[in-house]
Amino acid sequence: MWIYRAGALWQVWRHRWRHWGSAAAPRRRSPLTRGRHSPILFTNFRLFDGKSGALQDGYRLLVDGSRIKSLVREDHAPPERTKVIDCGGRTIMPGLIDAHWHALFAALPIQVLMSADIGYIFLAASTEAERTLMRGFTTVRDVGGPAFALKQAIDDGLISGPRIYPSGAMITTSGGHGDLRPLSDIPRSLGGPVSVSEQTGGGAVADSAAEVQLRAREQLLQGASQLKLVGGGGVSSPRSPLDMSTFSESELRVAVEVAKDWNTYITVHAYAPNTVQRAITAGAACIEHAHLMDDETARMMSDKGIWLSIQPFLNDDDSVPLTGPSRAKMLQVFAGTNSAYELANKHRIKTAFGTDLLFSGALTVRQGTMLTHLAKWYNNAEILMMATARNAELLALSNLRNPYPGKLGVIEDGAFADLLLVDGDPLADITLVANPDKNFLMIMKDGKIYKDKIST
C-alpha cells in the first residue's frame, strides 16, 4: 500500500539528509536556515497587517527566530547582529493562506496519479510545494490526500513548502465523490480488503456509522488537524451527481463526535441545499463549496455561525478540460458561483478563500489569479483580509490538533513571521498577487527568507 511505503521512503530520505549533514560530511547552509539565529529588522515600508482596511506607515518590524518580535513606530536601536532590510517604501503583508488545497493532487494529471510510482508522485508534490510557497502561499489547508509525510518533510526542513493543515483521506461512501474505484472492485466486501484507490490515502470509503468512526479515527491517528467528509457528489467523480447526498445525518454525527473527542472539527464537501443543511444539522463547523445553495440554506449557515469555504470558479480558465458528466457538473458550478457569493454577502456568512485547483501544473500557477476573482464581490482590502487573517480564524478551529499553535495571517507582536514584500500597493491593485514572480520581492515563512530580490 503506497501510502505506508511513502512514509518509509520519507524516513529513509530523512536519515540520509541527516547523515549528509554530519561532521563526516561538511554541511552546506541552505536557504532554509538563513536568518534563524540573527534578528531581521525591516524599515521603510508600508504595512497591511491582515486586519486593517488601509495601509499604515511609520513602523519598524523586528523578526527574531520564527516570530515577529515587535512592530513599533519608535526608532529603537536593534539587537546586536541584527540584519537591517530597507524595503524602499514597498508593502509588507502577511503570507497568503489557501483554505482548500490538495498538495498531492494539485499538479499531476489524474491519469498519472492513478498509475505512477509513489516515489514520482511524492517528488512531484515536493516540487509543487516549493512553487506554492513561491507564489506567496505560506499556509494551506489540505482537504483530502496523503499529505502527512509531505508536511513532515516541510516541517523538518528537508524541502521547502507551505505550512500544511492536513485532513488525510477524505471520507466518503460507496458512490460518493472521491470513490474512484473501478467497477471491477464492486461489489465491496464488508470487512474485506480495501481497494487500491483507498490504499493511496486519497479517499476512504465508509458505508456505516461504525466505518465512519473507524476511518475518522485513522486520519486523526496519522496527524489530521481536521476531518473532511463527503456529503454529496462532486465534479471530478463522474458517477456522483451534485444533487446526491451520501452520509445520513446520524453517520455525519458520528464523525462530529470523533472530532469533538479529539478537540477538532469536521468540514463537509457539499454543493446542494439539502446536503449542506444535513451537514449543518449534524454539527459540521465548515462547508466546502456550496455553490448551489439557496437563500434558506445561506440563512441557516449564518444563524448557526457555520464557515463557508468556497472557491471563485468563473469559467473554463479555472478548471482542467472536462468531458461528459464531469463537464456538465462543472458548468453547474460555474453557473452557481455568483449566486453563492451574493448569498454569502447578504447573510454575512463567515467566508474563507480557497482554490481547489486540481490535476494541472498549468492551473496551479493561477492560485493568485483565483484570489483576484473575488473582486467581483469584495473590495481589495476585504479580499486580502479573507486570504490572511480570516482564513487563519478558520484554521484555528483545529483547536488542540492545530499543528502550528500561534497567530497566523496577521502582522503583530508574537505572530508567526510569515511575510511578503510586495512591489506596489495590493490594496490599490489586487492584480499584483496574480504575478508573484515579478511582484513578491521577498517571501518569508517562519522567520526564514525563501526569496529575496532586494537585499542580495
Provide the CATH number for the domain formed by 96-377 in this structure. Answer: 3.20.20.140
Per-residue model confidence as pLDDT tens digits over 21-40: 333 333 333 444 444 568 99
Amino acid at 435: N
What would the mean pLDDT of 429-456 be, rounded to a whole number?
96
pLDDT of residue 201: 84
User: At residue 444, does pLDDT exceed 60?
Assistant: yes
* Least reliable range by pLDDT among 49-63, 105-119, 349-363, 404-418: 105-119
pLDDT of residue 176: 92
Provide the CATH number for the domain formed by 31-95+410-452 in this structure. Answer: 2.30.40.10
184 or 151, which is more confident?
151
Residues 6+ apart with CB under 8 A from 29: none
User: At residue 251, does pLDDT exceed 50?
Assistant: yes
What would the mean pLDDT of 62-77 be, rounded to a whole number?
93
CA–CA dist 97, 165 (Å, integer): 11
CA atoms within 13 A on the CB side of 371: 31
User: At residue 269, does pLDDT exceed 80?
Assistant: yes
Task: For residue 289, list its beta bridge partners.
Answer: 270
pLDDT of residue 37: 66
What would the mean pLDDT of 227-256 be, rounded to a whole number?
96
pLDDT band, very low/low/confident/very high, at 456 (cuts 50, 70, 90): low
Q: Specify the domain boundaries for CATH 2.30.40.10 within the chain.
A: 31-95+410-452
Q: Specify the domain boundaries for CATH 3.20.20.140 within the chain.
A: 96-377
pLDDT band, very low/low/confident/very high, at 331 (cuts 50, 70, 90): very high
What would the mean pLDDT of 175-188 be, rounded to a whole number?
82
What would the mean pLDDT of 299-325 be, rounded to a whole number?
96
Per-residue model confidence as pLDDT tens digits over 183-209: 777 778 777 778 767 887 889 999 999
73, with CB counted inside 10 A (0-12, 13-18, 19+), is exposed
pLDDT of residue 291: 98
Q: What's the chain look like in SS3? A: CHHHHHHHHHHHHHHHHHHHCCCCCCCCCCHHHCCCCCCEEEECCEECCCCCCCCECCCEEEEECCEEEEEECCCCCCCCCCEEEECCCCEEEECEEEEEECCCCCCCCHHHHHHCCHHHHHHHHHHHHHHHHHCCEEEEEECCCCCHHHHHHHHCCCCCCCEEEECCCEEECCCCCCCCCCHHHCCCCCCCCCCHHHHCCCEEECCCHHHHHHHHHHHHHHCCCCEEEECECCCCCCCCCCCCECCCHHHHHHHHHHHHHCCCCEEEEECCHHHHHHHHHHCCCEEEECCCCCHHHHHHHHHHCCEEEECCCCCHHHCCCCCHHHHHHHHHHHHHHHHHHHHHHHCCCEEEECCCCCCCHHHHCCHHHHHHHHHHCCCHHHHHHHHHHHHHHHHHHHHHHCCCCCCCCCCCCCCECCEEEECCCCCCCHHHHHCHHHHEEEEEECCEEEEECCCC
Give the distance, in angstroms, between the CA of residue 141 and the centroid of all CA atoms in the same chain: 3
User: At residue 9, does pLDDT exceed 60?
Assistant: no
Per-residue model confidence as pLDDT tens digits over 214-224: 999 999 999 99
- C-alpha distances in Å from residue 363, one per residue of 32, 46, 308, 358, 360: 27, 31, 23, 7, 5
Q: Percent of the chain, pLDDT > 90?
A: 81
User: At residue 366, does pLDDT exceed 70?
Assistant: yes
